[in-house]
Chain A
Amino acid sequence: MKQLYYDVDKCLGCKSCEIACAVGHSATKDLFKALKEERVSLPRKKVMHTRGKNYPVSCRHCKDPKCVDACMAGALSYDKEKGIVLHDETRCVGCWMCVMVCPYGAIRPNIKTRIPLRCDKCKDKDEPDCVKACPTGAVIWQEEVEIKL
């Protein structure tokens, strides 16, 4: 099962991943046209900055997802096989509980649509758009590894 990793020493904070994410989830898949869509697609990933380093942040698809537990509408579920938290937008009521409980702050509320923005690992593509977009190779798409601390 592949997972997104980041080499934060390589991240220059250009936010290309943010733009690629928004365009990739738009209806037209084209930067110039995406901005003119009625429901503007927003990035599901944000580059945060702290203590001199840049951190691209998006859903970690935790094995023990707090957001799934917190979802009162049953819109969230965890697919063990794919290692992905699935989000059924039709059932979502926009209560923002998932936003509150996420330990990484990786889920963002989209105030306009009242539906949270969360990474779906670009599930229909071979690799997420943010990986292709990164000019320095700071976004890494690889098999999950256990990190020993």
Chain B
Amino acid sequence: MDEFKEKSIDLATQEMLKKAQDENINTAWDRLELQQPQCGFGQLGLCCTVCNMGPCRIDPFGEGPQSGVCGANADTIAARNLARKIAAGASAHSDHGRDVAHTLSLLADGHTHDYEILDVEKFRDLASEFGINIDKPKEQIVKELSKRLLEEFGKQDGELVFCKRAPKKRQNIWKSLNITPRGIDREVVELLHTTHMGVDNDYKNIINTGMRCALSDGWGGSMVATDVQDIILGSPKPVRGKVNLGVLKEDYVNIVVHGHEPILSEMAVKASMDPELVNLTRRAGAQGINLAGICCTANEVLMRHGIPVAGNFLQQELAIITGAVEVMMVDVQCIMPALHEIASCFHTKLITTNPKARFPGVIHVEFEPKHAYEVAKQIIKTGIENFSNRNKERVNIPKQEMDLVAGFTKEIVFQILGGRYRATYKPLNEAIISGRLRGLAGVVGCNNPKQTHDYFHTTLVKELIKNDVLVLQTGCSAIACAKQGLLIPEAAREYAGKGLQEICEAVGIPPVLHLGSCVDNSRILTAASYIIAEGGLGEDLSDIPAAGAAPEWMSEKAITIGFYFVASGVYTVFGASPFATLGSKNLSDYLTGQLEEVVGAKFEFCDDPLKMAHLMINHIDNKRKALKLKPVMY
């Protein structure tokens, strides 16, 4: 098993990788090996494919060409390549937000009856935030609010409404740099324009435009997604759940939801309890329907319903390799094209649901918000019918499953800390001011087979909580730590430093808080703004003793998240390999140095999780010193 230990620290993953090898099935790890060596020009960001005079490459050793056919040098090429990734990442999050806002507008116009306003308080707060008079019938408010939300995408001037959530000082920094996002779609388009052949050649200016685009995601598209999902699907509350491949059940019809948008999977949760389907399941000889999730769709249904999580990004293929999955229903983002081939090795039916994300030769059941419940029912029915095709001899479900507590939001943190009737962030601020808590860390992001799966996430987070840093998590990073038992209150006693332990025991929370999917990183931004509003920890997000990290990142969305964190003033450390910018010394030095003078935060790249933790802890300590806070208590 030694060769598998290098691939993942997770026992369930190791077991499935062994099975894959025995059955001659290729996974992402094998494909990574086949891709070696990966192109050095690509890794350094020095290959430009923007125009048809190219492709051009800059010689990283300084002997050969130092500019492309058009004359673009390493700085311009690397910055443009990075900017295009920021645009793609922002597009993914923001388009998700648009779909959710669109569902709200269908609800407003009576075109869908499968959704309703579930969090009335948040709905009213949001309407007020948009300046809508809430002393009128609910239907009227929904109409106005959904119109205003959708307008945020197409706005040309002014600024995004959510930008006002940021501390005044931060808003002023954005204004002085001219990077306040105006319209969600506009910033993506403008950024792509600047990277066209022969437009922007100043790497610093390209990064500025990139930051504005990233902000239109963090304080725009992602925030719309999170807030509207909370309104129509219900705001999460602390909930118990289970995680890892062991949540798949042998005698049940296993339906795995995978992707990012919860609008349909929410209906799958409802439909899995439909009496008609339950009856059908019994007739098919199964004990029941077992719904489980992968990636951020999993996080969404976990946060709201405690639906078990089968695994994170690198476990999507392995879930099918258990041989026990009847249907894998996918929506958008982070769905490996390899799933089709893997599914064809088993009875598993892969079903695509989003018109934007299709595979040739794969069953497509298109999701329409108008008939959401019916679509979900149809998909689950396919799963039940497929149960009889399962080859029981090829079923191997790993035993590993772990308990976890998820469902923390910026609102819930208020209530837990201050109580429902005097909801406040005061106790949190005071814990940091008094030094019981060193500070806060946001640890987020993907998996990447270039690193030992889950090792970076868990090693980093354990070191942070040992040093009294409260960790906020989203996405596949949260799932990684959950699998290692860090998301249960008892983890405080085992892993946390004394100060953090005292807090966790007093309020009954885990030392690591699961805030949801990757669009829910917007919850971290708003929570940080509340901390500033509460007082005592400076006037800007960059004053808070806090840091961010994406230890095992792989997607373009991770780059965008990094940029909106940094542009919001949060020092952010990336693991795995750095952004593809090392071919340009100027750009790399700018991102990891000078940028701090511009926006009050910078990037760091580090390939050792313990070093990452101490970079973050040092940063937190420096911020404590700058605020003249007492030394850390323990």
Contacts and interface: CB of A to CB of B under 8 A. Distances in A.
Interface of A: 14-16, 19-20, 22-23, 31-32, 35, 40-43, 132-133, 135
Contact of A35 (B37, B60, B63): B60
B39 A42 contact: no
A55 to B, nearest CB: 16
Contacts of B63: 42
Interface centre among B39, B41, B61 (most CB of A within 10 A): B61
A32 B577 contact: yes
A133 B37 contact: yes
Interface of B: 37, 39-41, 43-44, 57, 60-63, 577-578, 582-583
B582 A35 contact: yes
The 9 closest A-B pairs by CB, nearest first: A19-B40, A133-B37, A42-B61, A32-B582, A31-B40, A22-B61, A35-B60, A40-B61, A16-B39
Contacts of B41: 14-15, 19
Contacts of A19: 40-41, 60
Contact of A20 (B37, B43, B57, B578): B37
A43 B61 contact: yes
Contacts of B582: 32, 35
A14 B61 contact: no
Contacts of B43: 31-32
A29 to B, nearest CB: 12
A86 B544 CA distance: 60
Contacts of B583: 35
B61 A16 contact: no
Contacts of B57: 15
Contacts of A135: 37
Nearest to A112: B62
User: Which of A14, A43, A133 has the most chain B CB atoms closer than 10 A to its own CB?
Assistant: A14
Nearest to B40: A19
Contacts of A15: 40-41, 57
Contacts of A32: 43, 577-578, 582
A133 B44 CA distance: 16
A70 B448 CA distance: 52
A10 B62 CA distance: 27
Contacts of A31: 40, 43-44
30 contacts: A14-B39, A15-B40, A15-B41, A16-B37, A16-B39, A16-B40, A19-B40, A19-B41, A19-B60, A20-B37, A20-B40, A22-B61, A23-B40, A31-B43, A32-B43, A32-B578, A32-B582, A35-B44, A35-B61, A35-B582, A35-B583, A40-B61, A40-B62, A41-B61, A42-B61, A42-B63, A43-B61, A132-B37, A133-B37, A135-B37
Nearest to B62: A40
A30 to B, nearest CB: 10
A35 B577 CA distance: 15
Contacts of B62: 40
Nearest to A41: B61
**B39, B40, B582 interface centre (most CB from chain A within 10 Å):** B40
B390 to A, nearest CB: 39
A133 B61 CA distance: 17
Given A14-B41, A16-B40, 7 more contacts: A16-B39, A20-B37, A32-B582, A35-B60, A35-B582, A42-B61, A132-B37
Contacts of A16: 37, 39-40
A14 B47 CA distance: 10
Contacts of B39: 14, 16
A68 to B, nearest CB: 25
Contacts of B40: 15-16, 19-20, 23, 31
Contacts of A40: 61-62
A19 B578 CA distance: 18
A107 B462 CA distance: 53
A19 B582 CA distance: 14
